[in-house]
Amino acid sequence: MRRRDILALFAGALASRPLPATAQPGDRVRVIGVLIGLTEKDPENPLRIANFERGLRDLGWIDGRNLRIHYRFGADADRLQASARELLALQPAIIVASSSFVVFELLRLTQTIPIVFVTAADPIGDGFVSSLARPGRNVTGFTSNYESMGGKWLELLMEIAPNTDRVAVMFNPATATGSRAYFFPAFESAARSIAVTPVGMPVHNAAEIEPVLAAFGRAPGGGLIVTPDNFAAVHRGRIVAEAARQRVPAIYSLRYFATEGGLMSYGVDLLDLYRRAAANVDRILKGASPADIPVQVSAKVDLVINLKTANELGLAVPRIMLARANEVIE
Amino acid sequence: MKTPRAGTKPITPAQTRGGLFRKYIVFFVAVVFLALAANGPIDIWFSYQEQRASLVHSQREQAEAAAARIGQYVKEIENQMGWMTQLPWSASTLEEWRFDAVRLLRQVPAITELARIDAEGREQARMSRVAMDVVGTQSDFSHDPKFVQTMASKRYNGPVYFRRESEPYLTLAIAGARRDNGIVVAEVNLKFIWDLVSEIKVGKRGYAYVVDADSRLIAHPDISLVLRNIELLELAQVRAAQLSSNEVPPEEDQVGTDLQGQKVLTAHARVPSLGWLLFVELPVAEAYAPLYVSIMRSGVLIVAALVLAALAGIFLARRMVVPIRALRDGAARIGSGDLNQRLSIDTGDELQALGDQFNIMAAKLQDSYANLESKVDERTHQLEVANQAKSRFLAAASHDLRQPLHALGLFVAQLRGRIRAAERDRVVGRIEAAVAAMNELFNALLDISKLDAGVLIPNVTTFPAAQLLSRIETTFAESAREKGLSLRAVPACAWVRSDFILLERILLNLVSNALRYTTHGGIVVGCRKRGGQLRIEVWDTGSGIPQDQREKIFGEFYRLGEPDHDRRAGLGLGLAIVDRLCRLLNYPIALTSTVGKGSCFAVTVPIGDARGRSVDVPVPIRVPRDVSRGKLVVVIDNDPLVLDGMGGLFRSWGCGVVTADTDGAAITGIADCGHVPDLIISDYSLTNGKTGIDVIARLRDAFDTPIPAFLMSGDTNPEPLQEARASGFHLLHKPVDPMTLRAMVNRMLKNDAAARVRL
């Protein structure tokens, strides 16, 4: 009798043994880091985190069970460096970077740990990847890179504010890196084709925002384009406020500008990208190399119009613009 | 059932140890194993087929669904685009165009660019999601395939191409209902199709992918593969799918290979209107994983079942084999003599019945052994009694022999001395009497021996009883008168069917006894008819026989009380002979007696069928005419005294005699005489184990004539009597009285002469 029982147990165990398969989430707790180039208390953070974690959960990674996610923040280079060091000390398998600026700072510290950027305007130009199809090193991610976007932003701005005769592109030379060079040519040629003066507006630090904008806004007929830039994201409040004060219509590249008072934004859905970044994280955790994961171009660009701001600026939003808008904030 | 060969050794317990036991278990386990082993693979085989079919079916359904969705998706885009060519370019304003384009871009996020080309092939407007809109470029697309083909077939889709090496795009073009309307061209980002394909999940490691009409991979969960722009014609299933029509592919196409060369279960569907193929594939290893698990389970189950079967087999075999062993051991013990063995088998089935039968058999064996033993004891006792009787017989015989021998010695001694003629005659008479007494004893012994040997064959004839009675009377008249007794035979007219001589013997002995044991009065012999038979009675007025001795008197050498001290003292054998004769002839003998008054012995004999019969009475031997004078007689005996005596006697009769102790010596002796002997007389038992029969035969051979011969023997054992009877020679028993001898000699010579005369 005893022998039979033992045998039955043994049999049961054998029968229910799972098949050897590829490493499943759940084998052991993996560690990843997320470095966001905003201040820790930025209200954007929870949304980003939520989307990211949702994306991971859909793929079977659950923070606290088979995954340990460490979030670090840094609004400027120094802070970012410190946070990056902290993250690296935790020996993560991957670090998710919120923008090209963060990638830059990370690449100063590591050339081996896989980095997934959620958005980068020009990863090729910035040297992160050798080509979109084959990144070739430890960095991959998502891009909304359309160098022709400059022309589109201009077109949209002109549509909402037809009286604009000069348009400036704000950027921080330190953080925007290749952005200026990237978007500017299309912008410039587009501007000239419609007899608008293109202006470059470098801003070096937060303190310069107000004076620069004030100087620009003194003369009427000015329009502003804020290209993708970590600096702008960090200080969006001030930029938006100053632009409003100066009564300068502005178009931004990310939604939260518009929601926080900017006139409009036309660009990628960042939160969606955070969700999609989870797929890359999943692939890398399962053994893929970032060198082989192509950089994905996001074609989903949304137009967000803040009608309130438009009204404050005394702008009438044309019908076609409303038709085009993906989101209208009132 | 084969009977064992005589002399084969029974199989030893050591040889059988565990034999039956093992057989049962092995058989049991083998049966279970075969059943399971047969069932398992069959089951698994069918299960494999069904599993595969079901998987492929489900995959095909998924492929069909996904392909339909893609087709649908594209169709939707085309439908939406179709709106834009409802009217010719010139018919609508730029504003209207822009509005329509914006709406289209809103509704179809996949479209990145829209271009409106008029009926002449010139681009009139272009709207982009990511670039500035342009109007009126007038670029000439009249020779561009997209313009030409769309105008021709109303719709067009270009090959999948990649922007910036990383984004798949498809050019779709739709023409208006009228040729004048021109066409609209859209650049459609296929990312959405990638998402759709990536969402298709089959099992854990199944996936879907799409190839275009040129078998180039255009969608795959692994984007990098797509971006490599590879062609998949190397894969068999792709080739087959390209070649086949839209029908269900045959069974053989269910298994294909993936890019790594591993086998996959594959199903595909065609995307309508685009000519693309969507494949849904599952690695065979995963598809069959449940089967492997099932096989493993079956294996474990078989092992478990075998163990169970072995245990059950052990249990059952033990139940069977233990009682069988008990039976074997019990039988062995009984075989070695321990009959007290009893088995106790309590299985409640046939084995118990067998055990009970075994016990019954053992009990019966025990009983019969006990019986046998008691029978053996009884028989031994009987033999002892008989032995004792024999010893007594011998003792008495030797005793009774001594008397006359003693007397004989005295008389012979007397003759040696000087004695007168009258005294000499008297002494010779006494010698003759002593010899006669010894003869009588030997005759009586011979009779008993003959009767015991069963050599006497009754010669049954029918004769008048009166004849027998008168002879009896005649024989004993003188003796009776001497004793002063009356002897009377009652006249009878009955006839008797019996052996004359043997019946005479019976009566002689009875009357002789009566005479001996009666001192006064008389003896009467008579016949009486009783119940169809004749009762011959001998009455005497003797002393009677006490009750307790009525059985014993029929025993050998039993003499009742105080016999008459007469020179002819009884031997005690008379009634013994009567008893045997009556048994032989099967006549009941009855005795009534009163002590002091007398006795009556009665023999019941069958009545013979009467008259018309001539009396057939054997004539007693008389002294015949002497034919022996001058004949040559050969006497062979190993006793020199006998030879001497025989020789002397024959010479006194006037015969020639040759005496010898062996046939060789006889032949020599005969040769000295010079002619063929006329008679051979030989002792039965000679030296060196030769018998008289052999000697006679040799002599007959030597002279090549059937010389008359007879045997003589001192043997009273039954074998020589029987052999002699079988040989056909007459046999005389020593001591033979001279008269009898002479009669036999004369008879033999007479017969021979008669025979010769006849020849």
Distance from CA of B206 to the nearest CA of A (A): 13
Please state the rounded mean pLDDT for residues A254-264: 91
Q: What is the pLDDT of residue B357?
A: 87
What residue has token string 């019986």? B371
Residue B747 confidence (pLDDT) above 80: yes
What residues in A contact B161, CB-CB < 8 Å?
Answer: none
The pLDDT assigned to B2 comes to 55
DSSP B628-653: -TT-EEEEE-S-HHHHHHHHHHHHHT
- Cβ of A21 and B164 within 8 Å? no
Q: Quick check: B711 and B667 in contact, CB under 8 A?
A: no
Mean pLDDT for the stretch of residues B3-13: 60
Which of chain A's residues have a Cβ under 8 Å away from the Cβ of B296? 14-15
Q: Which pLDDT belongs to residue A251? A: 93
Distance from CA of B186 to the nearest CA of A (A): 15
Q: Testing the interface with A: which of B111, B132, B230, B300 to mutate, by most A Cβ within 10 A?
A: B132
Which candidate, B471, B524, B463, places its Cα nearest to that of B495? B463
B130 and A10 within 8 Å at the Cβ level: the answer is: no
Does residue B251 carry a pLDDT above 80?
no
Whether B296 and A300 lie within 8 Å, measured CB to CB: no
Closest Cα of chain B to A324: distance in Å?
6
Query: Cα-flanking dihedrals φ and ψ of residue A64, to 5°?
Result: 100, -25
Give the model confidence (pLDDT) of B426-461 as tens digits.
888 888 888 887 887 787 777 777 777 777 788 888
Nearest residue of A to residue B195 by CA position?
Answer: A276
Assigned token pair, B52:
């595969």
Q: How many CB atoms lie within 10 A of CB B227?
A: 20
B223 to A149: CB separation less than 8 angstroms, yes or no: no
Tokens standing for residue B445:
């012994």
- B239: nearest Cα among B263, B268, B264: B268
Burial (CB count <10 Å: 0-12, 13-18, 19+), residue B267:
buried
Contact A151 B132 (CB under 8 A): yes
Which residues have C-beta within 8 Å of that of residue B340, sequence separation ≥ 6?
A: B366
pLDDT tens string B358-416: 888 888 888 888 888 888 889 988 889 888 877 877 887 787 788 778 888 888 888 88
Phi, psi of B37 (to 5 degrees): -65, -30
Helices of type H across B484-565: 500-516
- Alpha carbons A297 and B163: distance in angstroms, whole number: 10
pLDDT of residue B70: 87
> Is the pLDDT score of A22 beyond 50?
no
- Kindly determine whether residue A300 and residue B103, on different chains, have CB atoms separated by under 8 Å: no
The mean pLDDT of chain A is 86
For residues B609 and B618, what is the distance between their CA atoms, to the nearest angstrom?
Answer: 19
Q: Tell me the pLDDT tens digit for each residue of B123-150.
A: 888 999 988 888 888 888 888 888 888 8
Cβ B293–A324 below 8 Å, yes or no? no
CA-wise closest residue to A118 among A134, A95, A89, A84: A95
pLDDT tens for B166-224 read 788 889 999 888 888 888 999 998 887 888 888 887 778 888 888 888 888 888 888 77
Mean pLDDT of chain B: 82
Question: Is the Cβ pair B296, A14 closer than 8 Å?
Answer: yes
Is residue B316 scored above 90 in pLDDT? Answer: no
Q: Which two tokens stand for residue B660?
A: 């010898």
ipTM value, please give it.
0.83
pLDDT tens digits, B367-382: 888 888 888 889 988 8
CA distances from B501 to B459, B617, B724, B744 (A): 9, 9, 21, 18
B689-733 pLDDT, tens digit per residue, is: 788 888 888 888 888 888 888 888 887 677 777 887 788 888 888
How does DSSP classify residue B123?
E
Task: With beta carbons less than 8 A apart as the criterion, state whether B133 and B126 touch.
Answer: yes
Cβ proximity of B202 and B281 under 8 Å: yes
For chain B, give the percent of residues with pLDDT over 70.
91
In A107-136, the residues whose Cβ lies within 8 Å of chain B are 131-134
Q: Are the beta carbons of A320 and B204 separated by less than 8 Å?
A: no
Q: Which of residues 175-234 of B touch A (CB under 8 A)?
A: 189, 191, 204-205, 223-224, 227-228
| pLDDT value for A308 | 92
The answer to whether B360 contacts chain A (CB < 8 Å) is no
* B105 pLDDT more than 70: yes
pTM over 0.95: no
Q: What is the distance in angstroms between the Cα of A288 and the nearest Cα belonging to chain B?
A: 10
Sign of CA dihedral A184, A185, A191, A197: positive
Does the pLDDT at position A2 exceed 80? Answer: no
B307 touches chain A (CB under 8 A): yes
Q: What is the dihedral of CA B398, B403, B404, B406, to 10 degrees?
A: 110
Q: How far is A231 from chain B (nearest CA, A)?
A: 23
Q: Could you write out the DSSP letters of every residue in B426-452?
A: HHHHHHHHHHHHHHHHHHHHHHHHHHH
Q: How far apart are the first and last CA of chain B?
A: 67
The answer on pLDDT for B521 being more than 80 is yes
Residue A116, SS3 per DSSP? strand
Report the C-alpha gap between A283 and A42 in whole angstroms. 29
Q: Give residue B757's pLDDT.
A: 59
CA atoms within 13 A on the CB side of B460: 11
A157 at interface of B, judged by CB pairs closer than 8 A: no
Residues A160/A144, Cβ–Cβ less than 8 Å = no
Residue A149 contacts B, CB cutoff 8 Å:
yes
Considering only the beta carbons, identify the residue of A22, A152, A294 that sits closest to B130: A152
- Interface residue A8 vs chain B (CB under 8 A): yes
